[in-house]
Amino acid sequence: MTFVVLSGADLKQLLRGLRPCDVESLAEVLGQALVQYSCRDERQYQPERCVVTRPGGQVSLFMPATTEQSIGVKIVGIRPSLDPTSVSPDEKLMPALQSALTICDTLGHAVGILNAAELTAFRTALGSILLYRYRHATENIVVFGAGKQALWHIRLAVLLRGHNIRRITVVNRSSQRTQDLVDSLRESGLPSHISLEAFGGQESAANLLEELLVSADVIFCTTPSTRPLFPAAFLMSENARAKTRFISAIGSYRPDMAEIDPELLRTVVNPTGLLSDQVWNGRIAVDSRDGCLQEAGELIAGGISANQIIEVGQIENSRMGSESRGMKQWLESGLVFYKSVGIGIMDMAVGSKLMQLAQSKGIGTHLESF
C-alpha cells in the first residue's frame, strides 16, 4: 500500500494548479460527505474534538473523524503568545498555528499525511463555495480579511464563476496584509476584466463601507473577529433590501467571537421581519448544527435555535427533490447566510480526494510498504 506525504509546498503546488473541473469534483466530494453527516447517520460515528492547554500556554487541538472509507485525525498546535523582546527573528517568523492531517484506511493502515495549514483554509473556503456556486448574481464580491481563508474564497470563486465577477473588494485594517493578498492574486493570473480593490475599513469611513456592502452580491467574512464587522442596519435599509446577497461567515469559531451582528441574524430568521421575503423558511445554513450552536458566537448571541438552522448536507440532499422549488430559488437568488465552525469529516473528505489528485499528478512523496 502506498503512503502519500504532502508537504505544505506540495499542497500549494497542487491547489494552485486546480482546474474548474477539479474544484467541482472536490465540491461534490465534500457535499456528499456532508450529506452522509446530516442525513445518513454518519454524525453518530464522529468522535468529539479535544482541546488541551498546557501550563505554558501551548494549545493542542485534536479533531478525529471517520468515514466509510477512512479514519484519521487532524492535530493543530497553537503556540502561546510570544514576548517580542525575548524571541529570535526566526521565531517571530514562524506561523502561530501548525497542523497535520493523518489518514488511515478502515483497518488502521496509514495511507497518508498532509500539512493541514493550507488544507484547512482550502476546505473551509470550499464549504462556502458549495452554496455560493448556485448563485445567479455574483458581479460584486466583498471579502473581509486578508489571510489564507480570504485568498482561497477569492480563488475558488474566480475559478468557478470568474466570467460573472466584475469587482472584488478586500476589506482589512492592515494595509500591508491587504496589499500582499492583492499582489498574490494578481500574480496568480486574475482575469483582466475583474477589478481588484482594497478598502481599509476605518471606522471613519463607515458610510463608504455601507455603500460597498449595499452594492455587494456576495460577502465573504474570514476574520477571527470578536465584534461584528458591520452593523445590521447596513443591510436592512430600504436601499439595501432592494437586492439579495450570499453571506458566508467562517472566521469566528468561539462563543466570544462574532463577525456578523446578531441583530441581522435575528432578522433573517424572523418570519415577519424585514428580510422574511428573501429567506427560505427563516433558515440559516450551517456546516454542523451542533457545532455552530455551541461555538458560533453570533448565533449564540442572536439566540438562534436549532429549528432555525439547516445543515448544508440537508440542503444538498433536498435540493433536487420534487418539493425543493422554493429552496432552489432561495439558493439562487434569495438571501442566503452560511455559518461554519468546521468539522473533522470535512478534512477527511477533502484530504483524501487531494491525495488521489496528488498521486495522479505525481506531486508529493510516495512510499511503498509503509
In the chain, CATH 3.30.1780.10 sits at 2-119+345-368
> pLDDT tens digits, residue range 229-251?
999 999 999 999 999 999 999 99
Q: Which residue has the higher pLDDT, 218 or 61?
A: 218
Q: Does pTM surpass 0.85? A: yes
Closest CA to 49 of 291, 309, 313: 291
> pLDDT tens digits, residue range 174-225?
888 888 898 889 888 889 999 999 888 565 488 899 999 999 999 999 999 9
What gap in Å lies between CA 13 and CA 15, rounded to an integer? 6
Phi, psi of 72 (to 5 degrees): 180, 180
Residue pair 233/209 in contact (Cβ under 8 Å)? The answer is: no
Work out whether the CA dihedral 342, 347, 349, 353 comes out positive or negative: positive
Residue pair 143/170 in contact (Cβ under 8 Å)? The answer is: yes
Does residue 294 have a pLDDT over 60? yes
Q: Which fold is adopted by the domain 2-119+345-368?
A: ornithine cyclodeaminase, domain 1 (3.30.1780)
> For the packed helices 175-187 and 148-161, what is the interaxial angle rounded to 10 degrees?
30
Average pLDDT, the chain: 91
- Locate the DSSP E strands across the chain: 2-6, 50-53, 59-66, 70-78, 97-105, 110-115, 140-144, 167-171, 195-199, 218-221, 246-249, 284-286, 309-311, 336-339, 365-368
Sheet of 365-368, strands arranged across: 50-53, 59-66, 70-78, 97-105, 110-115, 2-6, 365-368
Which amino acid is located at 96 in the chain? A
Does residue 83 have a pLDDT over 60? no
Q: Is 188 helix (H, G, I), strand (E, B) or coil?
A: coil
> For the packed helices 116-132 and 20-39, what is the interaxial angle rounded to 10 degrees?
80
Does residue 87 have a pLDDT over 80? no
Region 344-353 average pLDDT: 96
What is the β-pairing status of strands 365-368 and 284-286?
unpaired
What is the β-pairing status of strands 70-78 and 59-66?
antiparallel
From the CB of residue 106, how many other CB atoms can be counted at a distance below 10 Å?
11
The whole-number pLDDT of residue 96 equals 63
In the chain, CATH 3.40.50.720 sits at 128-342
What gap in Å lies between CA 92 and CA 112, rounded to an integer? 30
What percent of the chain clears pLDDT 70, i.e. is strictly above it?
94
From the CB of residue 180, how many other CB atoms can be counted at a distance below 10 Å?
14
The whole-number pLDDT of residue 370 equals 76
The whole-number pLDDT of residue 186 equals 87
What gap in Å lies between CA 348 and CA 32, rounded to an integer? 12
> pLDDT tens digits, residue range 306-329?
999 999 999 999 986 766 889 999
Query: What is 128-342's CATH number?
Result: 3.40.50.720
What gap in Å lies between CA 108 and CA 102, rounded to an integer? 11
Joined grid coordinates for residue 245: 446577497
Q: No. of H helices and E strands in the chain? A: 13, 15
The whole-number pLDDT of residue 160 equals 97
Residue pair 95/117 in contact (Cβ under 8 Å)? The answer is: yes
